[in-house]
Structure 1
């Protein structure tokens, strides 16, 4: 009985102790949460804005959220880039609950300026610039009115998102706006220096380095972490660059064309396949291509290999090329852009192939790549012996010649062809010409 009573008292005491520890533990956690140092994540936004950068930014933001970052700093130095990639990055910034600051280290031009305007604050180094955000097409000309109108509305919305005067954002993208006091009279696009940006409210502060940036933000004791672009992401960013894509496609198609005219499988084929694999790898890693595009590419490659190694009528080669092009279109972030890239690659491939075959086919190392050898009588190749001794002999047609048929010369039967038209059966003919297996006869007219 006493033992049971002791057990009950022990259990009761344990419950009281547990009840007392719960609020103490909660208080400890609460105190730790209040004293925990802020975490700042630095994300580099460098070089051209393209879809590879977009994929890297998505990974970086996800990592920052997972690690519990309180601030994200975009360290920017970019000449701009693709409008669609910039739009997706802007959406990524708007959807995060973490405070995002742009630190312009050198320049935030074009799409870079648009991305910066979507962040909560902008801080610039003393020599940094921001602006010049007109939309241009692949040829370097101003985009069509519809695209310009869309881009101007996006620039306005980005400025108004954080209560900035939209006229300066519009002046960055529209040279019809006259702002001579900022060095942008009508006809010129607005590009702000750090002091000008501070003056018009497009920058909250000027800082020379990270330490001054953190001092302005009041984060001197913050924990700092830096996102780095992985090797795979560097490759993806390189191969998804708008200039690199048509180059890769040109190398790939040119390599396959040269392989079709060279014996076996060698350097041109490896060159072409490597370029196309690099294209698909970069687009898959950047998140644009799925396995269906890679499967189409592999099927197309196999069909092209069948065409190379198994002589046919070209149907396998055509199907293979169609499958590869379909895979490219599925892997692209823009079907229209990809069609333009493919057209550019086809033009480049055609021109370069013509130049190679015409001027280099018989010279230097190209002799080992392109098969140009041929068989001829001059080189000692004889498919059939030419029977010149038959010239002048008379024979009798065993079958009608229409214009080919059989003739008997003594005890020998030979296949011949008439010099002109039809010769009936049982007619006398004379051999007038021989070349290999070809024997030409003429009817002998009776007097």
Structure 2
């Protein structure tokens, strides 16, 4: 029986370890980066290709959508598709995700047509860069593009208001007279974005001057104006109209001219796979934030109560997922440090009560760090304030519970130490009139009494002074 009883915990630990290893291997498989696109010059696509891949991208451009686009474009290259159509409707997105998509377009052997559709859609901010990078830029009626000024990162000053070139020169003189680090950082970011989009415009022979205005002055254009100004190549009512206009069109591909044959092309709709859905969930800032909290508190609970297993395994998995998501998101390490500090202070309040000093300080650090965690002003990539408020209130209630338990324990009678002997029943070990020896709670103590004591008599401890107990007859029956 003893051997069987001891084997059960070890079997449970081995099972938990195997489960954790399997999950870890699955994570490594999921998080492995997609195969990089080829960097060498690519040959022109064959005009005999008869498939058109169509992807619909609707929403902010983040790591999940960027990964999906790059992988799908690589598959289209392997399938030697005639054309890859990206139906785009986006308010913008992260700079890193946008650049990954543009690198995929520039390295693609298959021409990419970015089509802003349906009517009412937009290609704002990051979408404008993607439109300029594409081999073919098209828009549906009642759509718009532009407002490509980089969003201020890191909590500095807001974006500058659109200004005329004369106002811009005055602003530059004022900035030179009173340099400001935040303004200098913003100007560097804007100048970098201008150089980037002008390079894309020159590569595709599109209106580079308007592209610069879209970055510097955040201007926008409707589809009709974009076509008139040479920002896009064509305007199409729907996908069929787009393919009809592109059929037989010649594209410059390196040193060659290729004519697209799309009359008999078969449409292949690119569907979102489980990896994209998984990454979209994990890289949601609010989900990543909650995973981080579960991971931290799970490990704290496991370390404070070794052998439980479940909190440690769950905490480690959630922490790995959170760290993976955070390394793809614009994270402020100051905010992350404040969150870790807050979690440590709350844990200290539970382990070593400070009557609210550690706990309240931890909640304050926790809330401030949560607000600062996402280092971007893009609404789609910030932690929802209701989530932060709920976690902050929950942490405050938890600290209040710890403080209440600490106060209750402080005001109650002692439950450990020598002071707990007062009021206990003692047994006299011999006869004595002044002092002698008694047994209390299994321990032998020196005792003194104002009355004669007989061997085996039950006594009550009334006080303690160092190693001497004051006793008096208990009035109960004597023990042998």
Normalised to the residue count of structure 1, the TM-score between the two structures is: 0.57
Distance 1:279 1:354 in 2: 19
Structural RMSD (CA):
4.4
Distance 1:355 1:200 in 2: 54
Describe how 1:203-214 pairs up with structure 2 within 5 A. Answer: 203-214=232-243
Q: Which runs of 5+ in 1 are unaligned?
A: 1-32, 176-188, 284-327, 391-407, 417-430, 442-447
Distance 2:112 2:47 in 1: 22
Contact 1:50 1:241 in 2 (8 A): no
* Cα 1:376–1:72 shift into 2, 3 Å: same
Shift in Å at residue 231 of structure 1?
1.8
1:196 alignment partner in structure 2: 225
Structure number, greater radius of gyration: 1
Describe how 1:124-273 pairs up with structure 2 within 5 A. Answer: 124-136=139-151, 137-139=153-155, 141-142=158-159, 144-175=186-217, 189-218=218-247, 219-241=262-284, 244-254=287-297, 256-257=299-300, 265=308, 272-273=315-316
Distance 1:215 1:125 in 2: 14
1:45 alignment partner in structure 2: 57
1:68 alignment partner in structure 2: 80
* Cα 1:81–1:241 shift into 2, 3 Å: farther
Shift in Å at residue 358 of structure 1?
4.8
Contact 2:147 2:219 in 1 (8 A): yes
1:386 alignment partner in structure 2: 421
Deviations 1:198-225 (CA, angstroms, capped at 9, x unpaired): 1111122222221111111122421111
Contact 1:247 1:345 in 2 (8 A): no
Distance 1:112 1:173 in 2: 12
Shift in Å at residue 373 of structure 1?
11
Higher relative contact order (CA 8 A, sep 6+): 2
Shift in Å at residue 157 of structure 1?
0.9
Provide runs of 4+ in structure 1 moved above 6 Å. Answer: 258-264, 266-271, 370-377
Shift in Å at residue 72 of structure 1?
0.9
Deviations 1:275-314 (CA, angstroms, capped at 9, x unpaired): 435436x65xxxxxxxxxxxxxxxxxxxxxxxxxxxxxxx
Distance 1:439 1:61 in 2: 87
Q: Which runs of 5+ in 2 are unaligned?
A: 1-44, 160-184, 248-261, 344-361, 367-390, 426-433, 439-443, 448-460, 471-480
* Cα 1:170–1:356 shift into 2, 3 Å: same
Residue of 94, 97, 102 corresponding to 1:82: 94
* Cα 1:269–1:374 shift into 2, 3 Å: farther
1:359 alignment partner in structure 2: 397
Distance 1:100 1:68 in 2: 13
Distance 2:314 2:91 in 1: 31
Deviations 1:101-133 (CA, angstroms, capped at 9, x unpaired): 101111111111111100111111112111111
Shift in Å at residue 253 of structure 1?
2.8
Deviations 1:160-200 (CA, angstroms, capped at 9, x unpaired): 1111121211111112xxxxxxxxxxxxx111111111111
Distance 1:244 1:149 in 2: 34
Secondary structure of 2:148's aligned partner? coil
Aligned residues: 311
2:337 alignment partner in structure 1: 343
Secondary structure of 1:337's aligned partner? coil
Distance 2:202 2:47 in 1: 35
Distance 2:306 2:409 in 1: 15
Secondary structure of 2:264's aligned partner? coil
Contact 2:141 2:237 in 1 (8 A): yes
